[in-house]
């Protein structure tokens, strides 16, 4: 067996053994094959989306009547569009595993058909409740909110990519549906992700003059420029591990305006302006050494990582792969290399840039302004990991018997651990009473909402919030409950908000009074009364729906439910039911 396949097979076996509760559903508890398939799906989705294993439950739709869609991720919503990532997973065993089976052609056909059904709001199809809820949410965003869906279909497998016939079917579909693209992600990609924290030693071949300087908080800083071909070669040699967490679900070229513009500039006769238009790359390393020549430096960097500019890197790499014979000798990108201590990653500063340009060349000036203000923001979770509040939470939770993962380590620990990303969602949902933001702005939690979430929060409050958040998410996945209360898949964040308020109210507590001294008391009360708290919160939901609709709450259209629980007015109305 291929060594990478063997490692992943061992990993998913361990995931099952360490987290038996995740695989205790009556439909799979006695079926080892289904457990293995589910564990592989979870590991693949977690790796692809760069999230924790437990977070994947929010996206899984894998069961009977799933139309070939095993997981659905709905990304952050902007004013004009939203991202959808559809996953289909195939875990091969026996001879298919040994012989590198192609991803099945009929599976491609199935998901192409499913795509048509998703965007036909008149289609009558038999699908499971989890998928039905996801499709309703997509249709609400597309048809009621008039947002443009940007769709990526990701095929997951421990084999190899689909054959040429399947590729032709994909090409024919994409020709008429420009908003869709396909990607393949297998055991090799997962292992690359798991190993992405490995020490990367790299040689950077810089062109022209470079500047090095020693600044406060840094050992040294180097600013220079690198040819795009050299950068592509660097990525080819070291893989996405060089980008660390910065790859952030690569947005692709076809459906992303910024990446399209990067590609167009590289292929145009104005590629010498690429250096001016692009914001450049930010790199960090433990140490670097340079040859010190006046021009064309060779820089040797130890523990190199690109922390900003991942979309640029991948787009350059993909463009050169697609057009390898083009002349890119005049296309350069700026790099900023910081030699810093490992614990100081959060102190990266902004770079001041000054261009001397002919005042008559207004078009270049306009292009620079537009291009340098449209780059995608970096995910700041790891850069915030060494903040004092994160270290304090880690110590506080350990004292209370919990493990807090302030850093992502690719180890995929069990449910006993609390990751900072889950903690952020839970706190924003429950104690800050912003469930809609927590659900639809996840990429901003460690940026715009960081202070809102973590200021004046302690370990006890965080743990209670996570317990409530996990419980509500688990309720959302119970098929019998969803059949009775069809709104649960859309309201679980708000349900958690209400349960948190009810918990404090029933214990005559203000949030700032919840601490290590009364933690065990409040936790025990919650564990003993969580079902009644859920039922009371659920009754509030029913009352609000009755006030809004004449139709019985269990007969309201799914798209209307999705829209209703995406409105701030709904959140306010439910909270007021408790306050007054």
Cα torsion angle, 102, 103, 107, 108, sign: negative
Left (φ > 0), alpha (ψ -120 to 50) or beta: where does 180 sit? beta
Residue pLDDT, tens place only, 518-558 = 999 999 999 999 999 999 999 999 999 999 999 898 899 98
- Structure confidence at residue 1 as a pLDDT band (50, 70, 90): low
pLDDT of res. 220: 83
The more confident residue out of 29 and 112 is 112
Mean pLDDT for the stretch of residues 149-158: 93
Residue pLDDT, tens place only, 2-35 = 889 999 999 999 999 988 888 888 788 888 899 9
DSSP letter assigned to residue 444: G
Domain ranges of the chain: 3-193, 197-371, 388-409+416-579
pLDDT of res. 231: 93
Give the whole-angstrom CA distance, residue 81 versus residue 148: 4
pLDDT of res. 330: 92
pLDDT of res. 505: 95
With a pLDDT cut of 70, the percent of the chain lying above it is 86
Helices 32-49 and 187-194, axial angle in degrees (round to 10): 60
- Contacts by 442-451, CB closer than 8 A, 24 or more apart: 442/76, 443/75, 443/76, 443/248, 443/377, 443/379, 444/76, 445/381, 445/421, 446/379, 446/380, 446/381, 446/383, 446/384, 446/420, 447/377, 447/380, 449/424, 450/380, 450/384
Give the whole-angstrom CA distance, residue 115 versus residue 172: 14
Entry pTM: 0.75
Please report how many Cα atoms fall inside a 13 Å half-sphere around the Cα of residue 148, on the Cβ side: 11
Mean pLDDT for the stretch of residues 94-120: 87
pLDDT of res. 248: 45
DSSP letter assigned to residue 103: P
Give the three-class secondary structure for 334.
strand
Give the whole-angstrom CA distance, residue 185 versus residue 157: 7
Give the whole-angstrom CA distance, residue 533 versus residue 114: 38
Domain 3-193 architecture: 3-Layer(aba) Sandwich (3.40)
Specify the range with the lowest mean pLDDT, choosing from 193-202, 250-259, 373-382.
373-382
The candidate with the shortest Cα–Cα distance to 241, out of 191, 287, 197, 285, is 197
Show Cβ contacts of residue 549 under 8 Å, excluding neighbours closer than 6 positions: 556, 560
Give the three-class secondary structure for 137.
helix
Give the whole-angstrom CA distance, residue 109 versus residue 264: 31
Mean pLDDT of the chain: 85
Residue 166 in tokens: 């399947």
Q: Do the Cβ atoms of 268 and 257 come closer than 8 Å?
A: no
Left (φ > 0), alpha (ψ -120 to 50) or beta: where does 65 sit? left
Mean pLDDT for the stretch of residues 322-328: 93
Mean pLDDT for the stretch of residues 458-477: 95
């Amino acid at each position: 067996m291929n060594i990478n396949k063997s490692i992943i097979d061992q990993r998913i076996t361990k995931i099952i053994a360490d987290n038996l509760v995740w695989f205790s559903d009556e439909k799979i508890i006695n079926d080892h094959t289904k457990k293995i398939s589910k564990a592989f799906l979870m590991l693949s989705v977690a790796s692809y989306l760069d999230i924790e294993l437990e977070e994947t439950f929010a996206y899984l739709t894998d069961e009977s009547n799933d139309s070939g869609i095993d997981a659905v991720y709905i990304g952050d919503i902007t004013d004009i569009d939203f991202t959808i990532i559809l996953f289909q997973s195939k875990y091969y065993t026996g001879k298919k595993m040994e012989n590198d089976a192609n991803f099945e052609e009929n599976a491609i056909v199935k998901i192409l058909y499913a795509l048509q059904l998703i965007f036909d709001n008149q289609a009558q199809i038999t699908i499971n409740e989890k998928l039905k809820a996801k499709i309703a949410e997509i249709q609400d965003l597309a048809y009621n909110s008039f947002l443009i869906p940007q769709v990526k279909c990701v095929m997951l497998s421990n084999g190899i990519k689909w054959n040429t016939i399947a590729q032709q079917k994909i090409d024919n579909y994409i020709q008429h549906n420009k908003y869709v693209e396909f990607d393949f992600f297998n055991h090799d990609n997962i292992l690359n992700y798991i190993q992405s924290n490995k020490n990367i030693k790299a040689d950077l071949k810089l062109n022209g003059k470079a500047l090095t300087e020693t600044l406060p908080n840094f050992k040294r800083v180097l600013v220079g420029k690198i040819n795009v071909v050299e950068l592509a070669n660097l990525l080819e040699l070291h893989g996405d591990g060089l980008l660390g967490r910065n790859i952030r679900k690569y947005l692709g070229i076809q459906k992303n305006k910024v990446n399209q513009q990067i590609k167009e500039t590289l292929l145009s006769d104005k590629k010498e302006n690429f250096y001016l238009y692009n914001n450049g790359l930010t790199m960090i390393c433990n140490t670097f050494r340079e040859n010190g020549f006046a021009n064309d430096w060779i820089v040797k960097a130890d523990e190199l990582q690109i922390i900003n500019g991942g979309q640029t890197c991948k787009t350059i790499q993909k463009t050169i792969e697609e057009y390898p014979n083009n002349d890119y000798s005049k296309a350069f990108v700026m790099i900023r290399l910081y030699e810093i201590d490992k614990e100081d990653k959060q102190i990266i500063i902004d770079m001041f840039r000054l261009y001397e340009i002919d005042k008559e060349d207004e078009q270049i000036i306009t292009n620079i302004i537009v291009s340098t203000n449209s780059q995608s923001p970096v995910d700041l979770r790891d850069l915030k990991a060494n903040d004092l509040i994160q270290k304090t939470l880690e110590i506080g939770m350990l004292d209370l018997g919990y493990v807090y993962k302030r850093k992502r380590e690719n180890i995929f620990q069990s449910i006993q651990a609390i990751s900072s990303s889950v903690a952020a969602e839970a706190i924003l949902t429950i104690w800050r009473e912003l469930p809609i933001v927590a659900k639809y702005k996840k990429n901003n939690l460690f940026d715009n909402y960081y202070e809102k979430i973590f200021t004046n929060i302690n370990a006890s409050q965080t743990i209670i919030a996570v317990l409530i958040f996990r419980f509500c998410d688990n309720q959302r996945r119970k098929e019998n409950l969803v059949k009775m209360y069809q709104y649960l898949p859309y309201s679980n964040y708000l349900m958690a908000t209400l349960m948190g308020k009810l918990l404090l109210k029933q214990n005559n507590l203000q949030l700032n009074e919840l601490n290590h001294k009364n933690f065990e008391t409040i936790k025990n009360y919650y564990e003993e009364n969580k079902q009644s708290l859920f039922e009371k919160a659920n009754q509030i939901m029913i009352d609000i729906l009755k006030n809004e609709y004449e139709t019985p709450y269990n007969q309201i259209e799914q798209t209307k439910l999705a829209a209703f629980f995406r409105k701030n007015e709904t959140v306010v109305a439910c909270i007021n039911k408790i306050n007054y």
